[in-house]
Structure 1
């Protein structure tokens, strides 16, 4: 099957799943037809509150299937425990809520406990609630996850399916083929990927005699799981195959260029554990007591599985945010617990794994002529109002639940979501505008990232807008104040920017107490009394940097992004979104009645 045919098959299969999910929205599913529990993880109490509020609103609007128990489980206070630690904690929460009954449940566990530093417009309300450019009302990542997994519950034994909140798996199988999770131990989905993709994912070393790499779906076992390996390691361990003929393993240096182009590895996405394994992991968690280190659900669970598993990864902390003294001990105990456990693999030969966890990935998939846009049926204008009198809207722009007034201009490759854009606003190329009200005459530059938050301080609702370049690294940190010049804001040294804004470099500049000095923790954004004023002030800051002209922030109370999230007012942000929703809905009803 040619690449175009494979993509068309995925589009058709995806459309069928979306239709099945749409038919279930607002209705009670039959027993075994849908999940018993849908669990979403949150990093802290504030994030959990935001998630519960949004879930409640979705249920009241009948945007989700009814009957399932929807839960938000917050990580325990203290050190970060990673998605592996969160998984263990959720198992304990389920047992506390349901006793032994939980072992008969079909559970979907979605990890969404991060702060989205690489996709900051999702930081306040969560990556799992990221809006997508299709649906009426708009689909968010949560609905898409539920839709893409709609076939799984009816072909699954009780257990837990574990996934992340910022990836999308699209696949097509043969008419008689089903994805079935019914084997003891672990079962993971595998997707054919380029070798470079394998370096940032988990890679399965499969027995070439047990599968062909042809057709839609195959069941096999994993000999050895590699976590974010380099290409040399993939080759040495026998993970590299020739696409479409995986009984022929590829070795370095002995293939023609055309054959090298067709090389692939099989990479991970979601995985399933049966309740026997879940109980073992829960017992382990209880014995450990409080975790003081980050555990990766993929790296630290899956690397212990299969007959070829070794302890080589024990002391590798390259993929851990902070190396903890407890990490090696926890890994050794997990290895002892899980060693010898089978890692079953469902090879989806016609599948694609899409990640939208960064601003660059987000813009590419939503605005370019991407495969995801074709296969998922993404729209240029989704549930929005824009006048025919507005400047011609380029097909590569993406407008999501927004109101664009006549006269505004949106350049190609930009995304506008949950915003109201005034008549004298021009938005440059490849920009992201989220949750904002822009009603002034302004030319927003290309590659601009702008998102507004409602905050509550001393019981008063205020507003702050953060503005960056879509290419700024919000995760980059320095340890010393003297190194602030190494940080960059819109391609300019932060030290120069601070000088233009009249902000002094001092111990008060950053909100973090533990030497994490970066754009995320820099107190540079002014608190304002209205949403539109906060946008105006932040755009003036940006303008001063672009033209190297002073714009003093004296007299303003300044917040960092970190603090904005601490003070966020979820109710007010959702109220703004609902006002836009109601106006669009009312206009659509009026248009229908006029026909």
Structure 2
């Protein structure tokens, strides 16, 4: 139904990495709206990052502000906006790469929900308790919480307001950590409004202790003293970590002025690290010069950080502490498998299903209870091992899928045993204006982000536990700089041209599984005569329409049951 003004978001903005991803997102949004899967009466927009340098989610935030002003003039400052960062190509969860993390399917709903619907549902109470401004979230995390009947999460204070969740100290090392103001924080109850003295971005545990961020569970108002700590003490300690945050329009306008003055942004800005570290009375500009792991191309970063610090310094960082809450991240193959198939808290809290909007035989041996089947058709006779996820796929009667596998967008109609820990994802690609198919296959444990600078070092890259150099020899693929698609000096699995282009979806699956079989059994399987693509190239020439057509065919067949 159409939402009434004031009861929902005025505008939902989704970021994309580039124009190609923007088109893919727009196509999926249009399909959702046509099927009535999203609330009507809301402005939905997709904004691709400008071409050129990567600008990070902070740069994307600034670019979205510019786009909103271009579209709506001054009117945009009266909107209540949900901004979802979904740019990037998800190298740690490649089945979300082609069509976007925000469109990741969940084992829930009939028809299935995707992350976008879950985000809108999770935040459904926020807009009616929010002054005009922008709520910023990422597309691969889930925040669940419980509050008292009379307690309300309200975003009505000037400056920034962030949600905070109690987390183990090790979690804090990979997230933002709030150093809460002890004079305004009691640590009692399920929900508490307080202020942040200082924000730490991915600090080590020693820094958390030195800055007074570590608390004792059950007595969260008392910071822990520094010094030696036993394992039992560590278990009882926590820090408050970040998730989503809100900024009012006065701040947004200041950031937009800064963005316009920059003319062209040539570095990656982190919306969390580079915005929030400037806030609170305890903020210092030390972080602005921390350029470890920064390339020469991003020499502008220090200057940008210092300017942001000067703009935001003194701005309050309000914190809404949710003591009965949990933050979940689903951005890697391991997290994806764990939360969807194990007895995880998330599976229990969301009531995730082992079969969501799918067709499969009711035979007891077809499907292990810990497996997760999402909008797929499993023909009688196939077997799915424990801990595996099958999404948007058609599995034939003579297929045996091992444990802890991810099968996405594939049509498997041959007699085959798919080994445990296999990641298989098929894409439609447009080659010379013709629709073709390519299927990537890896281990769920392979590191697609790893790269080496020298061709002589590619032996250190691992494909399903075997040196890539050995795999290339089995496949008859020569080692040269032409083997890799990227212009960068990094050579890795992401850019290795190893996957054959085929004329049918099922044939591409057969070829890739034969490649894997040859590696596991040390038997030659030559790829002569095939055009080979890297994952990077598969994504750049993907045919979104054909991929969605395959999903729609499965959807229609399930609806007819």
> TM tier, shorter chain?
over 0.9
Question: Given the alignment of the two structures, is residue 358 of structure 1 paired with residue 332 of structure 2, yes or no?
Answer: yes
Deviations 1:467-506 (A, max 9, x none): 0000000000011111111111001000000000000001
Give the corresponding residue for 2:382: 408
Corresponding residue SS for 1:508: helix
Question: Given the alignment of the two structures, is residue 560 of structure 1 paired with residue 542 of structure 2, yes or no?
Answer: no
Give the corresponding residue for 1:398: 372
Which shifted more, 185-194 or 382-391? 382-391
Q: Distance in 2 between matches of 1:124 and 1:254?
A: 47
Counterpart of 1:249 (choices 223, 237, 248) is 223
Deviations 1:266-309 (A, max 9, x none): 00001000000000000000011110000000000000000000
Corresponding residue SS for 1:466: strand
Are the equivalent residues in 1 in contact too, given 2:393–2:409 (CA < 8 A)?
yes
Question: Given the alignment of the two structures, is residue 349 of structure 1 paired with residue 323 of structure 2, yes or no?
Answer: yes
Give the corresponding residue for 1:130: 104
Are the equivalent residues in 2 in contact too, given 1:409–1:426 (CA < 8 A)?
yes
Closer, same or farther in 2 for the Cα pair 1:65/1:321, shift >3 Å?
farther
Question: Given the alignment of the two structures, is residue 466 of structure 1 paired with residue 466 of structure 2, yes or no?
Answer: no
Are the equivalent residues in 1 in contact too, given 2:77–2:133 (CA < 8 A)?
yes
Deviations 1:353-403 (A, max 9, x none): 000000000000000000000011100000000012472421110000000
Q: CA deviation at 1:516?
A: 2.0
Counterpart of 1:517 (choices 491, 495, 498) is 491
Question: Given the alignment of the two structures, is residue 308 of structure 1 paired with residue 288 of structure 2, yes or no?
Answer: no
Give the corresponding residue for 1:542: 516
Are the equivalent residues in 1 in contact too, given 2:177–2:213 (CA < 8 A)?
yes
Q: Distance in 1 between matches of 2:5 and 2:327?
A: 30
Deviations 1:214-235 (A, max 9, x none): 3110000000000000000000
Are the equivalent residues in 2 in contact too, given 1:243–1:264 (CA < 8 A)?
yes
Q: Distance in 1 between matches of 2:297 and 2:289?
A: 9
Q: CA deviation at 1:212?
A: 2.4
Aligned Cα root-mean-square deviation (Å): 1.1
Q: Distance in 1 between matches of 2:225 and 2:529?
A: 65
Matches within 5 A, 1:75-94: 75-94=49-68
Corresponding residue SS for 1:517: coil
Q: CA deviation at 1:122?
A: 0.5
Q: Distance in 1 between matches of 2:551 and 2:281?
A: 52
Closer, same or farther in 2 for the Cα pair 1:250/1:465, shift >3 Å?
same
Are the equivalent residues in 2 in contact too, given 1:390–1:409 (CA < 8 A)?
no
Give the corresponding residue for 1:483: 457
Which structure 2 residue ranges, 5 or more long, are not aligned? none
Q: CA deviation at 1:127?
A: 0.3
Q: Distance in 2 between matches of 1:394 and 1:214?
A: 43
Give the corresponding residue for 2:75: 101
Give the corresponding residue for 1:334: 308
Give the corresponding residue for 1:16: none
Deviations 1:120-167 (A, max 9, x none): 000000000000000111000000000000000000000000000000
Question: Given the alignment of the two structures, is residue 234 of structure 1 paired with residue 204 of structure 2, yes or no?
Answer: no
Are the equivalent residues in 2 in contact too, given 1:212–1:244 (CA < 8 A)?
no
TM-score scaled by length of structure 1: 0.93
Counterpart of 2:413 (choices 430, 434, 439) is 439
Corresponding residue SS for 1:251: coil
Counterpart of 2:21 (choices 30, 41, 47) is 47
Are the equivalent residues in 1 in contact too, given 2:462–2:468 (CA < 8 A)?
yes
Q: Distance in 1 between matches of 2:384 and 2:293?
A: 39
Are the equivalent residues in 1 in contact too, given 2:18–2:51 (CA < 8 A)?
yes
Question: Given the alignment of the two structures, is residue 576 of structure 1 paired with residue 550 of structure 2, yes or no?
Answer: yes
Q: CA deviation at 1:455?
A: 0.5
Give the corresponding residue for 1:193: 167
Q: Distance in 1 between matches of 2:452 and 2:15?
A: 29
Q: CA deviation at 1:559?
A: 0.2
Are the equivalent residues in 1 in contact too, given 2:104–2:114 (CA < 8 A)?
yes
Q: Distance in 2 between matches of 1:231 and 1:243?
A: 16
Q: CA deviation at 1:258?
A: 3.8
Are the equivalent residues in 2 in contact too, given 1:213–1:243 (CA < 8 A)?
no
Q: Distance in 1 between matches of 2:53 and 2:560?
A: 47
Q: Distance in 1 between matches of 2:186 and 2:354?
A: 39
Q: Distance in 1 between matches of 2:467 and 2:354?
A: 35
Are the equivalent residues in 2 in contact too, given 1:390–1:406 (CA < 8 A)?
no
Q: Distance in 1 between matches of 2:45 and 2:476?
A: 46
**May I ask how many residue pairs the two structures share in their alignment?**
561
Matches within 5 A, 1:120-269: 120-253=94-227, 258-269=232-243
Q: CA deviation at 1:259?
A: 3.8
